[in-house]
């Protein structure tokens, strides 16, 4: 059981992919579906597609472009938006995430979705999973021009939303992002034990990690 000081938490900041939603959709799309469709659309082998795509992915990892569907559509000469719709049936809520969100609302917490996902990806997911009613705000890092890995994101978020880092909880499946939030001064930080239901659990290193959202219920 993870013990959180709920009386000292006013604001809960939540990531989307891998935190509230199963990361299987995103991993399958980028590592399986996109390379296959890229190969088909460009008339090359699957291996050639991976040889072209993987260095590009690594080059942009952790930057705003990595999360931008417009960037990848231009870069790869295909519609990432349309290709994501082909596998949208894989978009799924993590177990009991909605129960946790409902409990936060009932407890009167301010709840904010902060995602590096482009607005296109966010819209697609909100079509499939009804998340919006649980949140005070739905924020994409593209709104500010900086990914969550960058301190400038956190300064922009605070200027926009006016939260107190010392009285906030942030949950994310990315360790670099959690470290960025820690550097900004967010007091309560949690990682996610198994972001992708189809892959083994992740080592959350110095962070406590959520296995079951019922553990956290205030």
List residues with catalytic annotation: 8
- Helix 46-60, helix 69-76: angle, nearest 10: 140
Give pairs for 94-100: CB < 8 Å, separation 24+: 94/19, 94/20, 94/21, 94/22, 94/197, 94/213, 95/212, 95/213, 96/212, 96/213, 96/214, 97/20, 97/21, 97/213, 98/134, 99/213, 99/214, 99/217, 100/213, 100/214, 100/216, 100/217
* Rounded distance between C-alpha atoms, residue 127 and residue 150, angstroms: 29
* Rounded distance between C-alpha atoms, residue 96 and residue 214, angstroms: 7
Question: Residue 66 corresponds to which tokens in the numbers above?
Answer: 């990595």
């Amino acid at each position: 059981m993870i013990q959180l000081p709920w009386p000292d938490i006013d604001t809960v900041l939540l990531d989307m992919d891998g935190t509230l939603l199963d990361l299987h959709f995103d991993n399958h799309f980028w590592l399986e579906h996109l390379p296959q469709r890229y190969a088909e659309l460009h008339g090359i082998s699957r291996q050639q597609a991976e040889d072209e795509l993987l260095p590009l992915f690594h080059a942009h990892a952790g930057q705003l472009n990595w999360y931008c569907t417009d960037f990848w559509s231009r870069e790869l000469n295909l519609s990432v938006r349309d290709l994501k719709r082909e596998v949208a049936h894989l978009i799924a809520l993590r177990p009991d995430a909605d129960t946790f969100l409902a409990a936060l609302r009932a407890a009167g917490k301010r709840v904010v979705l902060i995602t590096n996902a482009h607005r296109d990806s966010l819209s697609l997911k909100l079509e499939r999973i009804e998340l919006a009613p649980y949140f005070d705000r739905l924020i994409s890092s593209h709104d500010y021009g900086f990914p969550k890995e960058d301190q400038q994101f956190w300064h922009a978020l605070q200027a926009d939303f006016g939260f107190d880092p010392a009285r906030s909880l942030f949950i994310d499946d990315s360790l670099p992002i959690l470290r960025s939030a820690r550097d900004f001064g967010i007091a309560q930080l949690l990682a996610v034990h198994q972001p992708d239901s189809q892959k083994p659990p992740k080592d959350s290193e110095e962070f406590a990690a959520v296995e079951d959202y019922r553990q956290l219920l205030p």
